[in-house]
Structure 1
Amino acid sequence: QTALAAGAEILGFNVRIGSNVAKLAEMEKVRFTNFRIIYQLFDYLKDVQEKKTIAQGPKIIETGQATVLKVFNFKGTIVYGCLVTSGKIKLGDAVQTAKVSSLQVGKASVDEVKKDQEFGLVLAPPIDLKAGDIMSATAIEP
Structure 2
Amino acid sequence: MNDDSPADGGPALFRLVRFWSRRWAGQAAGDLGQVQHVLVLEAVQCSGGDADVGTVAHQLGLDHSGASRMVKEAVAAGHLVRETSEHDRRRAALRLTDSGNALLAAARQWQRHVFDDLTASWDEPDRERFGTYLSRLADDVGA
**TM-score range relative to shorter protein:** under 0.3
TM-score (norm 1): 0.24
Return the index of the structure with the highest Cα Rg. 1
TM-score (norm 2): 0.23
